[in-house]
Amino acid sequence: MVADSIATTERERRLTSAPDIPIHERMASIAGPAVLDVQNFSAYYGQFRALDGVSLQIPDRQITALIGPSGCGKSTLLRCMNRMNDLVDGFHCEGRLTYHGQDLYDKKVDVVEVRRRVGMVFQKPNPFPKSIYENIAFGPKVNGIKGNMDEIVEHALRQAALWDDVKDKLKQSGLALSGGQQQRLCIARALAVQPDVILMDEPCSALDPIATLKIEDLMKDLAKVYTIVIVTHNMQQAARVADYTAFLMMREDRAGELVEFRDTDSLFTAPKDKRTEDYITGRFG
Ligand SMILES: Nc1ncnc2c1ncn2[C@@H]1O[C@H](COP(=O)(O)OP(=O)(O)OP(=O)(O)O)[C@@H](O)[C@H]1O
Ligand SMILES: [Mg+2]
């Protein structure tokens, strides 16, 4: 079970003892240890193949961006990383996706535990229609996280750079906050259950430029402790925040494939694939 093995096993050991592919090959594209390792991964909605044969590693405590034209499978790939797609009727996948060496799609895996460790922040801020305090306290309560709840709430709000904005109105509705504050509340809510990875699907697309920069600064801060994967349509944003960037594209049959995955600077300044170059220079997409 993920809960047991991940709580007790040391990261590197899990990584090196995991899949059948030599470690030097899996690590070829990233500098440090991988938290999530995607190997020859395909995803289907019914008969439709949304992703085909994607392989990449998400490095520990770095920001990795997924970019590419609409419909190329960015959200699908992101949602596979915490098994959110299980909720979609007709979804299935092939290949291997490991989290600290543990096969995420193994039948024995505890999906609730996966989603606690690999949290998600969505495009549109979606606070619960509850107080700011309750928005944060809900997850720790449900997950049986021990400790003083007031402290847990304050800590999560501080981590999300929201404490100063809301410390005097914790009883007010989360929905009464501005869009940018609501998104930081959702980030705080994700942090409160003590995750390891935070997945963000276009977290700034509903925000103005100032709120966007705040979230970007926050992401850079959080990446000192957490592993972050962000889907973004905004290439400047990927260039500003991401350490690594993956460019995906749709083939003629509309299946998404990974075209290029490298450190962000190299991807944007010296793309190896002509399709990457065309995309980042605005020739399509
Ligand atoms: N729940 C679903 N049921 C059926 N097909 C889906 C579902 N979600 C996504 N798809 C299809 O899978 C493909 C990839 O979709 P996905 O949402 O992953 O793309 P995306 O790269 O995130 O696009 P966008 O940039 O527009 O958000 C698309 O063709 C889409 O229509
Ligand atoms: Mg999407």
pLDDT digits (tens, 9 = 90+) for 236-273: 999 999 999 999 999 989 899 999 999 999 999 999 99
100, 107 Cβ separation under 8 angstroms: no
- The residue whose C-alpha atom lies closest to atom 27 belonging to ligand 1 is 70
Instruction: Give the pLDDT of the chain (285 residues) as one tens digit per residue.
Output: 444 333 333 333 333 333 343 333 333 456 668 999 999 999 999 999 999 999 999 999 999 999 999 999 999 999 999 999 999 999 999 999 999 999 999 999 999 999 999 999 999 999 999 999 999 999 999 999 999 999 999 999 999 999 999 999 999 999 999 999 999 999 999 999 999 999 999 999 988 999 899 999 999 999 999 999 999 999 999 999 999 999 999 998 989 999 999 999 999 999 999 999 999 998 876
Ligand 1 atom closest to residue 77's alpha carbon, by position in its atom list: 18
Looking at all shown ligands, the one closest to residue 44's CA atom is: 1
Q: Is any ligand 1 atom within 6 A of the Cβ of residue 162?
A: no
Closest CA to 200 of 231, 169, 227: 231
Give residue 77 CA to ligand 1 midpoint distance, Å: 10
pLDDT in tens, 4-22: 333 333 333 333 333 343 3
Give residue 70 CA to ligand 1 midpoint distance, Å: 8
Name the amino acid, one letter, at 63: I
Q: Is any ligand 1 atom within 6 A of the Cβ of residue 251?
A: no
| Residues whose CB falls within 8 Å of the CB of residue 10, separated by 6 or more in sequence, listed in order | none
User: Which of 41, 42, 44, 45 best tests ligand 1's pocket when mutated (most atoms within 8 Å of CB)?
Assistant: 45
CA dist., res. 131 & res. 238, Å (int): 33
Ligand 1 atom closest to residue 202's alpha carbon, by position in its atom list: 27
The DSSP code sequence of 169-207 is: -TTSBGGGS-HHHHHHHHHHHHHTT--SEEEEESTTTTS
Q: Is any ligand 1 atom within 6 A of the Cβ of residue 271?
A: no
| Residues whose CB falls within 8 Å of the CB of residue 276, separated by 6 or more in sequence, listed in order | 247, 259, 260, 267
Q: What is the pTM of this model?
A: 0.89
Q: Is any ligand 1 atom within 6 A of the Cβ of residue 45?
A: yes
Give residue 277 CA to ligand 1 midpoint distance, Å: 23
Ligand 1 atom closest to residue 46's alpha carbon, by position in its atom list: 4
User: Which of 75, 124, 205, 231 best tests ligand 1's pocket when mutated (most atoms within 8 Å of CB)?
Assistant: 75
The one-character DSSP state at 271 is: -
Give residue 121 CA to ligand 1 midpoint distance, Å: 17
Give residue 188 CA to ligand 2 midpoint distance, Å: 22
**How close are the terminal C-alpha atoms of the chain, in Å?**
41
Cα–Cα distance list, 189 to 127, 138, 263 (Å): 9, 8, 29
Closest CA to 80 of 62, 56, 61, 59: 56
